[in-house]
Amino acid sequence: MTQPAIVWFRDDQRVADNPAVDAAVASGRPLLCVYVHDEESDGIRPLGGAAKWWLHGSLRALGAALGGRLTIFRGPGDRVIGRLAAEIGAGAVYWNRRYDHAGREIDARLKHVLKDCGIIAESFNGHLLYEPWTVMTKSGGPFRVFTAFWRAARRSGEPETPSPGPKSIAFYDLPAGVKALRLEDLHLEPHAPDWSDGLRETWKPGEAGGRRQLKTFLEQHLVHYAAERDRPDKAVTSGLSPYLRFGNVSVREVWQAARAAAARSGCDGDLDKFLSELGWREFCYHLLFHEADIARRNIQPRFDAMPWHDDPAGLQAWQRGRTGYPIVDAGMRQLWATGWMHNRVRMIVASFLAKHLLIDWRQGEEWFWDTLVDADPANNPASWQWVAGSGADAAPYFRIFNPILQGEKFDPDGAYVRQWVPELADLPPSVIHKPWTSPAKPDGYPDPIVDHAFARRRALEAFAETKGE
């Protein structure tokens, strides 16, 4: 009897263009498809609430795509997979690589144990266009500047062509003595209270949902991407971030489909801008691989001397969308309602927290980690550090967004603010981003919790301390 193969799913929850699945099918072995919910291994960061909600839907969709043949366990990933391989007499284990320090250590440990037991253990690239060690400087080190990184990545060649996935899969039946879990046993969805109504109305997790999202973007919005991607009042961004984060769609498939769509419509400038956003994702994973703990440690050590403020009231006002700055509050309310926020607004609200309120960027990163459906171990901390000024190739700390001007520039008619801050719905565009100047001050909406000019001066004085001035 042919020994079975285990396919260990992680952030690659799809069947098409999944190299681990392709390799397992090509082996000719019957497959046991496994997901392990690991919140116990050292260094593994447990998911936040919104990401857990997405994970539940994503695993449900993956299970359906596999004909109900997804087997679920809980515990330290390497121990669970190692024990399972021994229990079923597996001949091989296949998975797609991850790039954080803890995940890499776990995978290396498992690969060593399996090979010592005579079990084939193979890993693949199922998550990136360019793996971190394949794009290096001329001196052999990692890049710290995005433009140089992306230029070198593009020079290295086109990404691999995505695979359509197997036509059929022969499955292995789990022995009766091996106890697995139901998806519901992971308790990923919120209860008492259930705050996920807005998420359910906004998203359809899973491979089919990701394909629909990609199709809609390419057919309707790619041709406007370069000109309107910074407009939160216009739905022209791809909306693919959570699907890429959980691997519901392959980044190679997105790349190939975008290039084909641009060739048909002749929107090369829009394509280049969109592909550079995929490039930023690649750069964030480059940093995650080469830098230690980017969610906790300043990439630029001089920011260790930054005099952050302990301001629970300011933090709570920011979290609840009650800062008195409409573009900030609209973004934070969109985040709470949908588990997502427009990228331009993410930069505005992050700048406001780190610079107007002088609250440590890590507190903002933690809030996003808990509330974003696309909370990503690379993108989330790297982007927060970019805004805060502490990261690689970061925006200069002295670049302090004026939330009034940002709102007027990117939401000129106030449509985005009206959608998410209904207290201001009756204000004209001339004052909607500075409602305190309106003769008819809206009831129930707060005054600014900090004056912009004062906050800017204070932030620059604080930054001077990181330079020993």
Q: Count other Cβ atoms within 10 Å, centred on residue 297.
A: 15
Q: State phi, psi for 58 to the nearest 5 degrees.
A: -65, -45
Tell me, what's the pLDDT at 441? 82
| Same domain for 135 and 44 | no
Residues 326 and 428 in one domain: yes
Tell me which of 361, 367, 386, 420 is the catalytic residue: 361
**pLDDT score at 290:** 97
Candidates 122, 228, 280, 336; catalytic one: 280
- Domain co-membership, 26 together with 157: no
User: What's the CATH number where 50 sits?
Assistant: 3.40.50.620
Nearest to 448 by CA among 352, 336, 309, 308: 352
- Residue 442 CB contacts under 8 Å (≥ 6 apart), including other chains: 423, 424, 426, 427, 435
Residue 177 domain-assigned (yes or no):
no
Q: Please confirm, yes or no, whether 203 is among the known catalytic residues.
A: no
Would you say residue 109 has pLDDT above 90?
yes
Which of the following is catalytic: 160, 277, 408, 423? 277
Residue 395: per-residue pLDDT: 73
Question: What pLDDT is recorded for position 467?
Answer: 76
Domain for residue 202, yes or no?
no
* 385-402 confidence digits (pLDDT tens): 999 999 988 777 788 999
CATH number of the domain to which 356 belongs: 1.10.579.10
Tell me the CA distances in angstroms from 353 to 58, 323, 360, 452, 467, one per residue in order.
32, 10, 8, 12, 21
93 with 217, same domain: the answer is no
| 101 and 49 both lie in a single domain | yes
Asked if residue 174 is part of any domain, the answer here is no
Sheet (strand 5-9) strand order: 70-74, 31-37, 5-9, 92-96, 120-124
User: Does 12 share its domain with 93?
Assistant: yes
The torsion angles phi and psi of 37, rounded to 5 degrees, stand at -85, 105
Query: Which of 57, 331, 329, 328 lies closest to 201, judged by CA?
Result: 57
Q: What is the DSSP letter of 171?
A: B
Neighbours of 67 (CB within 10 A): 10
Q: What mean pLDDT is predicted for residues 84-105?
A: 98
Predicted TM-score of the model (pTM)? 0.97
- Tell me, yes or no, if 343 is annotated catalytic: yes
HSE-up of residue 287 (Cα within 13 Å, Cβ side): 32
The active-site residue, picked from 54, 384, 386, 420, is: 384
| Integer Cα distance of 235 and 416 in angstroms | 10
The CATH number for 248's domain is 1.25.40.80
Q: Does residue 68 sit in the same domain as residue 143?
A: no
- Indicate whether 468 pLDDT > 70: no
Share of the chain above pLDDT 70, in %: 99
- For residue 292, the model assigns a pLDDT of 83
Q: Does residue 195 belong to any structural domain of this protein? A: no
Q: Judge if 221 and 141 occupy the same domain.
A: yes
Q: Which domain holds residue 136?
A: 128-161+209-290
pLDDT over 80 at 1, yes or no: no
- pLDDT reading at 82 higher than 80: yes
In a domain, 467, yes or no: no
| pLDDT, tens digit (0-9, with 9 covering 90-100), for 66-80 | 999 999 999 999 999
DSSP state of 291: S
In the prediction, which pLDDT does 47 show? 98
Q: What is the pLDDT of residue 86?
A: 97
Mean pLDDT across 123-130 = 98
Q: How many domains does the chain have?
A: 3
| pLDDT at site 323 | 98
Last residue of a domain, which of 80, 109, 126?
A: 126
Confirm whether 423 is a catalytic residue.
no
Q: Are 380 and 294 in contact (CB under 8 A)?
A: no
| Domain-terminating residue out of 290, 316, 332 | 290
- Give catalytic status of residue 318 as yes or no: no
Average pLDDT of the chain, as a whole number: 96
Q: Quick one: average pLDDT of 252-268? A: 96
* Residue 361 is among the residues annotated as catalytic for this protein: yes
Which of 412, 419, 398, 413 lies closest to 341 in space, CA to CA?
Answer: 419
- Cross-strand bridge partners of residue 35: 9, 72
55 domain-assigned:
yes
User: Is there a single domain that holds both residue 141 and residue 255?
Assistant: yes
**Domain final residue pick, 234, 269, 290:** 290
Same domain, 305 and 433: yes
Q: Say if residue 313 is in the same domain as residue 276.
A: no
44, pLDDT greater than 60: yes
Whether residue 466 is contained in a domain is answered as no
* Catalytic member of 105, 122, 125, 308: 308
- For residues 372 and 256, state if they share a domain: no
Question: How far apart are the C-alpha atoms of 19 and 345, rounded to whole Å?
Answer: 35
| Whether residue 147 has pLDDT greater than 60 | yes
Find the mean pLDDT for residues 96-112.
Answer: 98
Split at pLDDT 50, 70, 90, the class of 192 is confident
Percent of the chain with pLDDT over 90: 96
Q: Per the residue annotation, which of 343, 402, 408, 423 is the catalytic one?
A: 343
Is the pLDDT at 183 greater than 80, yes or no? Answer: yes
Average of pLDDT values for 287-312?
96
Examine residue 185 and state whether it is found in any structural domain, yes or no: no
**What's the CA angle centered on 370, arms 364 and 373, to 5 degrees?**
110
Q: Average pLDDT for residues 51-55, to the nearest whole number?
A: 98
Q: Which residues contact 388 (CB under 8 A, 6 or more apart)?
A: 303, 350, 354, 355, 361, 394, 397
